[in-house]
Amino acid sequence: MSTTPAAAEAPGRILVVGRSPGVLVAAVDILRAKGYEANATNQFDQVLDDYDVTDLDVMVFGGMVPAETKQHLREEVSKRNPRVDFIQGLAGIPGVIAAQVEAGTSDGRRGQDGARIAYDVDRRRVQVTLREPAHVTADAFWHTSFTPPEPKSTSARVLDDSLDAGPHEIQLPDEVPSEASFLAVAAGDQVRVFTVGEMPKAVRRSVPTSTSDKRITEADPVTTRSDDH
């Protein structure tokens, strides 16, 4: 039987550190709806003052967080909380961020319906092998715009069905582009996230290396609290 993160004592306290206000707020909304105690901020220099990281289970870094900032936060947060897990976000897409958190914490709440989930890049197919019948969903996400500080994206539900035990293949539809696209698959209590198409080189080259990097676009401040409902 599937359980919520809190009920299964799996990691449930999440902090997303990123740049884009809309992406951060939407990711928090999705995670809270799934039962996580989630917050987000784009105030890099205030993370350690604004949040009690000793009570944190997972910290997620967005792609536009400067490398030196990530290194500093990893070191300082780990000193205060050695058990925290760090996740590097694949894209500025709220659904992908939330799915990565689910994937990172799903082992802690896995039931008896364990599954093997893989993605065949060449054939654009998901391969799911179930030990017993389970409900399986597959969602594709992709960017439609990269304009900072608010990139845009869309998504499509590829599968939402109860499947019998045994092997299954799920074909990715042609509408999912081969660039800046991702796939989240949930089978029973397990979640896996795959990169379908890499981010464009121009976007990867635009990642700032420091907080003084002139490529950083100004964004409205975001600092959510757990009581922001």
CA–CA distances in Å: residue 19 to residues 38, 77, 88, 154: 16, 19, 13, 19
Give this prediction's pTM. 0.89
Task: Say if CB 92 and CB 100 are below 8 A apart.
Answer: no
Is 226 a member of any domain?
no
Alpha helices in 86-186 (DSSP H): 94-105
Is 95 a member of any domain?
yes
Is 185 a member of any domain?
yes
Question: Which two three-digit tokens encode residue 131?
Answer: 């030990």
- CA 36 to CA 98: how far, in whole Å? 10
Is 1 a member of any domain?
no
Name which of 68, 66, 23 is nearest 41 in CA terms. 23
In order along its 229 residues, the chain shows pLDDT tens digits of: 344 444 445 549 999 999 999 999 999 999 999 999 999 999 999 999 999 999 999 999 999 999 999 999 999 999 999 999 999 999 999 999 999 999 999 865 554 457 999 999 999 999 999 999 999 999 999 999 998 889 999 999 999 999 999 999 999 999 999 999 999 999 988 999 999 999 998 888 887 777 777 666 788 999 999 876 5
- Residue 136 domain boundaries: 13-205
Sheet arrangement for strand 181-187: 152-163, 134-145, 181-187, 190-197
- Total number of domains in the chain: 1
Is 8 a member of any domain?
no
Is 210 a member of any domain?
no
- CA 94 to CA 38: how far, in whole Å? 13
